[in-house]
Structure 1
Amino acid sequence: MTAAVACGLAGIAPVPGRPWPLGASFDGEGVNFALFSAHAERVELCLFSADGRHEVQRLPMTERDGDIWHLRLNGALPGQLYGYRVHGPYRPEEGHRFNPNKLLLDPYARRIEGRLRWSDAVMGYRVGSSRADLSFDSRDSAFAVPKSVVVGETFAWGPDAPPDHPLTETLIYEAHVRGLTMRHPGVEDGLRGTFLGLASDPVIEHLTKLGVTAVELLPVQAFLDDRFLVNRGLTNYWGYQTIGFFAPEPRFLSKGALWEFAAMVRRFHAAGIEVILDVVYNHSGEGDELGPTLSFRGIDNRSYYRLTEGGRRYANHTGTGNTLDLGHPMVLRMVMDSLRYWVEVMHVDGFRFDLASVLGRDGEGFDASAAFLDAIRQDPVLARVKLIAEPWDLGPGGYRLGGFPHPFLEWNDRFRDDVRRFWRGDAGVTAELARRLLGSAERFDHGSRPATSSVNLLTAHDGFTLLDLVSHARKHNEANGEGNRDGHDDNHSDNMGVEGATDAPAILAARALRRRNLLATLFVSQGTPMLLAGDEIGNGQGGNNNAYCQDNPIGWVDWPAADQALAAFVARLSALRKSLPVLRQKGFLHGRPRPSDGLADVIWRRPDGQSPGPHDWHSPRFRCIGLEIRGDADRPDSGESPVFIVLNAGEAVRLVLPETARDWLLVLDTTRPDAAPEPFRGGLEAPAQSVLVFVPAPTGETG
């Protein structure tokens, strides 16, 4: 193929163009193409027919400024499909894997068309060769790979503005675009599984009733389906194999247009709901040295990835085969450009960083002042959006809960595990539960970080749903085709007497109560609460705690079987939390006296009303704990009404109410989820397996 091949753009001679911005940029008169590669010897721009089947022109990019290769095509228009072929040394043992026979996606492509067709031709080496990845494959891969698309779309945002909810008023709802909509009866058939379906009226109405302020979407940047999954008839449902950091995943676009994503964001904003994206900048979908050559590997393998053994192997802190090298300035630039693009152009409100410890690795170890973390903190665009870290990875020293700097929030797995263990009845957990109820200060109270730094979760996409958590003592991942070896084994779950589905009324009642207790604990805890989509309506996955490949009813929210009573209870919890500022404070509570009244900001109580001593905290029989919460002692103007919370994971017990209020109003009893507020004075019996919430009763109301 040569530049002389006839095509729609034949006869339009390329001109030098400019080295910025990276990617393909349409300015109304033509398109500028710019690509980074430090080690390439030659770069070719390949243009394709509208259906992507035919390469119709190949243009050498002869202009190079530093490590940026560029050219301009006057007259080129949005919609043009393109890719790159990059020439250079093929010396895997030195980290170079250039192979111009492989068509490469533009790392800055704003839209990607087509899906990867798995073939040995997409490999840079000869599959089956005795030399493995040291061999060289000369087959053209263009027929099998997606194409980059020139975009020129603009979106009429109108008066769109970010809701910008304070963290103290934030309720996060983690959802999957397809999972939340595929079985929703109110979503149009043609919109199910898409951005437009996600932002349809029935879904927004449901989220609004729950009091959700932010949807956190599992990966929506373009990703690929792993070959081993395709061979099993499965897909990469969760999407943690990104191949395009600027492009939305095509399967979520019902009309193949970027405005669909923008329309989703604007509709959520209009409803007062922020959009947070789960992003995967720790690795790419190209895998290890035996993976495909689709983009970064063929453009400049030695620059984009962290390499070992002189360059042949990949550092694998992610468990996916490779690790992007954010220590390289141009890789860091790509990630920062991507983040800013989604904020400035697509108006998203924040990011949840998958395996974020990888992003903070300086060499092999984690550094809270690593280049990426510092770059985000100083960036005027990114410093104002919500930033959430998954504070672990699979490398040495990768568990870093509490180790990220302000303004990062962090998923708190200690909250998840300790709350589960307390309600399961594990002995000696009450002291740990107490720490989680107050925002895990031992982890997060440093560097002027607020209590909202702890993202409190009971469940997430990775693990059991809430229904499965109380219905299964062990995982059931057989459908994944890995012999039930995948997924976590230690789930701190309980089947309440029967494994899986049952019709036994007593077991169903116990499971329902356990879920209400878990949810109530989430909503009365200091920190930032997060719900998993479907937990509020009793969604289950049949015990599958790793449904990463289940783009089917296993992984989709089961709307037809929705438990509307549970949804109403969650909405009540959300409203209760919103009405009581002391449940969602910015400052940590340490039992210090408040200047306003001399009372401690938090007082722990045994059922008899006395403060627990060291023996109580460590006793395996200490299953009922009360805490009285007031405003932060460091806020002299904190005049919020106090709240008294009781969590009883044991048998029924006589409860003495604090004398700090003459009368108390019981506003929540998980054993009676529909009960109206009820006044009490002095004491009452705390039911077995219950969460009770009291506020001072209005004058004159006694019980």
Structure 2
Amino acid sequence: MKKIISFSLVLVMVLSVIPQVVFAEAPTELIIHYHRFDSVYENWNLWIWPESKAGTSYEFTDEDEFGKVAVIPLENIESVDQIGFIVRKGDWEAKDVDQDRFIPVNRVNAKNQLEIFVVQGSETFYFDASEIDLSPKFLSAQLIDEKTVKITSSKPIPISEMRSGFSLVDSDGTHLKPAAVSGGSGDMAQNFVVLLEDAITIGKDYVTEFGTYAEVPIDISGIYGTEIFESTFGYTGVLGVSYTKNKTTFRVWSPLAEDMTLVLYAEGLGPVELERIPMRQSDQGVWEVSVEGDLHGFYYTYAFKMNGQDRETYDPYAVAAGVNGDRSMVVDFEQTHPEGWQNDRGPVYEKSNDAIVYEMHIRDFSIHPSSGIEHAGKYLGVVESGTQTDAGTVTGLDHLKELGVTHVQILPMYDFNSIDERQLTEGVFNWGYDPKNYSVPEGSYATDPYNGESRILEMKQMIKGLHDAGIGVIMDVVYNHTALSADSNLNLLMPGYYYRMDDGKFSNASGTGNETASERIMVRKLILDSLKHWVETYHIDGFRFDLMGVHDIETMQVIEKELKKINPNIILYGEGWTGGTSTLPDGERLLKANLSATPTIGAFNDDMRDGIKGHVFNAEEGAFASGYAGFEESVKFGIVGAVFHPQVNYDAVNYSNDPWAVNPSQSVNYVSAHDNLTLWDKFQVTNPAASEEERIRMHMLSNAIVLTSQGMPFLHLGVDFLRTKEGDHNSYMSPDSINQIDWNRKTMYHDVFDYHKGLIDLRKNYPAFRLSTQSAIESGIVFFSSEETSVVSLKDQMIGYMIPKNEALDISETLIVIFNGRDKAQEINLPGSEYKILVNGQEASAQALEKFKGGRLEMPSYSALVLSTEDVFIEGQTNRIATDSNDSKGVSIALIAVLGFVFASAGVLLVMGRQKKKTV
């Protein structure tokens, strides 16, 4: 009876609580109080996001005795468990603390509000102001070098007291006293530079000691780049997992960890541990342990203590992982080879500008029902053959072969952070520029994200299938930042080392919250080892470096040298800019202006891009291909592959006052990519009054310029049939309805597809469009002018040039290329000769579309014209024709002039006079 009564009482008590917890109303508003010790609140604001939803910026609009106050209305959060917040300065100039913080939604007050109190520099936030200690304290303490520490206090302190009372204390109790203290010109200060009597000992932990102030751990990141630190802790051996069937060795670099334990799991998800195995610290900060037996298929993490706190994280050197990449995996790669893998090879190209690159996203490529692809959105879907739309239009892999591209550049397919691989519901999408595991394939593209082997095998199957189709694979890599900052596995294992810091905060040249310190020896090693892994294990044919301008030049030179040893034909290029300011000087970063330091690494030609279509960030601003004047020199800059050419006026180029390429292969020529508006959407904004037919011509003209220019051409998936994202300029997490490729558009605009296909065929068959040196371009490309003496006298908003035939350059015919960027047809006059028209306003081909004898010719608005002839013309001498361009053949300029005069006298002018005006 007593047991029954006790149970009844407990049941009543539980039921009395349930209404408060389960049936509580969602809070109506969030109130955040913020206290800064320095009382400087200017430009500080909040970034708020309900869990799994987009973030929004909010300002502090009120103040009280505690500090500033923000009142934020909350709507539609019934299904939300917690709300994330960041206190930031400006538009991500700085963060108060680096960690993301989350407020439980069920912590409502009596007014059904969420109310918290936040203190400058403290990770902890409070629900009651009375819990907060605002007494004087040190906010930060950071080493500048081995004998100098920078201290920031919450309140002013007499400099004399810091000299007499401050010290650093190591883990053995040894005190390091100041030799001098600087705090500015006054007697009191909050910011101090303390010069110590003795240098610290590398590898020991230090804390502050000063009166009643609480001790603060010393941030040693200021000495990470010093020679003494790198010589002490720079490790050149193997990190991560070294697997054999009999034994597996685990190594992780973490010089500051107080201990390290290997934690083994049977599965990539779940609470059950198999075993915890202590690791021992060997030389240079590496922790190591070997485990007997065959561990293929086992999962693992590292558990350790750092600054007195227990941590657990995944391996920075992981090459396999479980679902969401939270546990690393031991794998026998021999068991992940598809059939024929040992003989797999990518296509070989002697120089990068022989390649024609097509940028694609794995999910975009196949997720639309019109693709006819079974494994929609997966690695395997990329290489299904025989797929087509209901109308019979070729899709997928066969489309790539039909179009004729030589390489695909695949948006991030390493393991990224933004997608929950456990909930791959319809519409879950991200580009993937938020790295989590640099050397692990992304799980959401695998048929089984829970099985670490599945993603490895299926990525290999995709790569082999592309290689079998004659198509190379370029991997989009993002080593410039990580998805997480303070909470990343890199920062947990070695706080502050892997990132550039600015006054104790994460520097942000990536624009995403942090930037990696590639110039540091162990960061450089991580990047290089990861790249080698992708080349050697997955047969990757090239890399596109996201925000390459964040990386230091020396690291990129090492990458260039080491990857060329493995594959001499590997293709390397990237974005020659950053997403924000960096603590590393411009002269030390691989911006496009510094590309002469890496002659086989290319950069995207944004000068040409915006010269053709208009500024990417000013949506309504058009350029040459859409009828806007003044962009001719920027387009010519791209035509010559960003190398020097005497006929380019560099003062009139939009962004670069000088050529930045030393050879044309370094210029990646393009008008559209995953970023910003698609080319089709751009012209709808820049030319809203234009007809669809006119915008199609603008579109075709744009890539006619790209595919006939010197350098490496780059095309955006679907650009060949007018891809649209419905005006979404930043679709990185937009749903499939925005990002997917609607293959029905290929049926609708098959003539546009045929035009691009013809341009690609033309480029492949005419080496004149793929010159390999600056000298060949300087001497081999001759731009026309508006002068009457020009071989072709150009009208306004026209660009034209010729490439005379030259056996030494493997150019068997003279090519004439003209672009009309006007919104109306314009007439040109060609010297009398026998021409093959290869490209006109509607068609493109490597074979003659028709023949032309010379004379007047009308080019439609927004159109390209390419012709070939056996004759050679001399610019500046109207209608003068030569029979050969090689001085070595003994043909002098004088003889050319005579031949031209004789040819003209024989009736060329008569022929031209009788020739009717022709329209192409």
TM-score normalised over the length of structure 2? 0.60
Amino acid at match of 1:645: V
CA distance in 2, matches of 1:625, 1:447: 22
Q: Does structure 1 retain, via aligned residues, the 8 Å contact 2:594–2:660? A: no
Partners of 1:180 and 1:274 lie apart in 2 by 17
Question: 2:840 aligns to what?
Answer: 669
**Closer, same or farther in 2 for the Cα pair 1:566/1:508, shift >3 Å?**
same
Q: What is the DSSP-based 3-state SS (H/G/I as helix, E as strand, rest coil) of the residue aligned with 2:363?
A: helix
Q: Distance in 1 between matches of 2:696 and 2:674?
A: 21
**Could you list the per-position Cα deviations for residues 250-277 of structure 1 after superposition, in whole angstroms to 9, with x for gaps in the alignment?**
1111244211111111111111111010
Contact 2:478 2:545 in 1 (8 A): yes
Compare relative contact order (CA 8 Å, sep 6+) and give the higher one, 1 or 2. 1
Equivalent of residue 296 in structure 1, options 477, 490, 509 = 490
Provide the residue aligned with 2:829 in structure 1.
Answer: 656
Match of 1:48 among 249, 265, 278: 265
CA–CA distance in 1 between the matches of 2:599 and 2:260?
42
Whether the aligned pair in 2 keeps the contact of 1:412 and 1:455 (CA below 8 Å) is yes
Deviation at 1:236, TM superposition (A): 6.2
Distance 1:583 1:609 in 2: 25
Aligned partner of 1:153 in structure 2 is 333
**Of 92, 99, 114, which aligns to 2:323?**
114
Confirm or deny that 1:685 pairs with 2:685: no
Check 1:672–1:108 CA distance in 2 against 1; reply closer, same or farther (3 A cut): closer
1:509 and 1:21 map into 2 onto residues whose CA distance is: 59
* Aligned position for 1:604: 784
Between the aligned partners of 1:457 and 1:419, the Cα distance in structure 2 is 9
1:512 aligns with 2:696: yes
Give the aligned partner of residue 518 of structure 2: 326
Counting matched residue pairs gives: 584
How big is the shift at 1:324? 1.4
Equivalent pair of 2:358/2:409 in contact (CA under 8 Å)? yes
Q: Please report how far the alpha carbon of residue 72 of structure 1 lies from its aligned counterpart in structure 2 after TM superposition.
A: 1.1
- Show the counterpart of 1:100: 310
- Deviation at 1:672? 5.7
Cα contact 1:162–1:347 (8 A) shared by 2: yes
1:278 paired with 2:446, answer no
Match in the other structure for 2:360: 175
Aligned equivalents of 1:687 and 1:557: distance in 2? 30
| CA deviation after TM superposition for structure 1 residue 449, in Å | 3.1
Contact 1:33 1:72 survives alignment (8 Å): yes
Could you tell me which of 264, 288, 291 is aligned with 1:70? 288
AA matched with 1:153? F
Q: Which residue of 1 aligns with 2:761?
A: 575
Cα distance in 2 between the residues matched to 1:584 and 1:637: 10
Aligned to 2:499: 305
Equivalent position amino acid for 1:64 in 2? S
Secondary structure of 2:733's match? coil
**Aligned counterpart, 1:59:** 277
Q: Which of 725, 729, 744 is 1:545 aligned to?
A: 729
Say yes or no: does 1:242 pair with 2:451. Answer: no
* Structure 2 runs not aligned, ≥5 long: 1-234, 388-395, 614-622, 645-655, 872-882, 884-910, 916-920
User: Does the C-alpha gap of structure 1 residues 259 and 373 become closer, same or farther in structure 2, counting only changes over 3 Å?
Assistant: same
Match of 1:449 in 2: 662
State the percentage of identical aligned residues. Answer: 26
> SS at the partner of 1:238?
coil
3-state SS of 1:693 partner: strand
Task: Tell me what 1:529 maps to.
Answer: 713
Question: Which residue in 1 is equivalent to 2:905?
Answer: none
**Residues 754 and 843 of structure 2 are in contact (CA less than 8 Å); yes or no, is this contact kept in structure 1?**
no
User: What is the rounded CA distance, in whole Å, between the counterparts of 2:719 and 2:559 in structure 1?
Assistant: 36
| 2:821 maps to amino acid | A
Displacement of 1:52 in angstroms is 2.1
Unaligned runs of 5+ residues in structure 1 are 1-17, 91-98, 116-144, 361-367, 474-493, 498-505, 594-599
Mapping 1:163-562, distance limit 5 Å: 163-166=347-350, 167-183=352-368, 185-189=370-374, 191-201=375-385, 202=387, 203-225=396-418, 237-255=430-448, 256=451, 257=454, 258-287=456-485, 289=486, 293-309=487-503, 312-360=504-552, 368=553, 370-378=554-562, 380-381=565-566, 384-393=569-578, 394-395=580-581, 397=586, 400-404=591-595, 405-420=598-613, 421-442=623-644, 449-471=662-684, 473=685, 494-497=686-689, 507-562=691-746
Q: 1:218 to 1:520 in 2, by over 3 A?
A: same
- With over 3 angstroms needed to count, the CA separation of the structure-2 counterparts of 1:678 and 1:280, relative to structure 1, is same
Cα deviation, residue 334, structure 1:
1.1
Which structure's CA Rg is the greater one? Answer: 2
- C-alpha deviations, 1:409-467, integer Å up to 9, x for none? 11111110001111122222223222221212247998993212100011010011122
Distance in structure 1 (CA, Å) of the matches to 2:440 and 2:327: 12
Query: Is contact 2:643-2:662 (8 Å) kept?
Result: no
Q: Secondary structure at the match of 1:512?
A: helix
Do the aligned partners of 1:523 and 1:573 also contact (CA within 8 Å) in 2? Answer: yes
Partner deviation per Cα, 1:512-556 (whole Å, 9 max, x = no partner): 111111121111111110000011122200001111112412011
Tell me if the contact between 1:407 and 1:449 (Cα under 8 Å) persists in the aligned partners: no
Q: Deviations over 1:200-228 (max 9, x none)?
A: 2242211111111011011111110189x
Structure 1 residue 31 and structure 2 residue 248: aligned? yes
In the superposition, relative to structure 1, how do residues 297 and 448 fare at CA in structure 2: closer, same or farther (>3 Å)? closer
Secondary structure of the 2:796 match is coil
Note closer, same or farther for the CA distance 1:447–1:415 as it changes in structure 2 (3 Å cut): closer
1:82 aligns with 2:82: no
Give the aligned CA root-mean-square deviation in angstroms. Answer: 3.1
- What is the alpha-carbon distance in structure 1 between the residues aligned to residue 370 and residue 740 of structure 2? 13
Task: Give 1:157 shift.
Answer: 1.3
Distance 1:552 1:109, change over 3 A: same
C-alpha distance 631-679 of structure 1, shift in aligned 2 (>3 A) = closer
Counterpart residue type for residue 836 of structure 2: L
2:801 alignment counterpart: 627
Residue 435 of structure 2 contacts residue 483 of structure 2 at CA under 8 Å; is this kept in 1? yes
Deviation at 1:247, TM superposition (A): 0.2
Contact in 2 for aligned 1:37/1:67 (Cα 8 Å):
yes
Alpha carbons 2:474, 2:541 under 8 Å: kept: yes
Q: Distance in 2 between matches of 1:371 and 1:517?
A: 38
Q: Are the structure 2 counterparts of residues 23 and 590 from structure 1 closer, same or farther at C-alpha, using a change threshold of 3 Å? A: closer
Distance in 2, Cα, partners of 1:51 & 1:387 = 34
Distance 1:344 1:654 in 2: 55
Helix, strand or coil at the partner of 1:237:
coil
Aligned match of 1:501: none
Contact 1:175 1:218 survives alignment (8 Å): yes
Contact in 1 for aligned 2:429/2:736 (Cα 8 Å): no
Q: Secondary structure at the match of 1:377?
A: helix
CA pair 286-530 structure 1, distance change in 2 beyond 3 A: same
Match of 2:84 in 1: none
| 2:607–2:637 CA contact under 8 A, matched in 1 | no
Higher strand share: 2
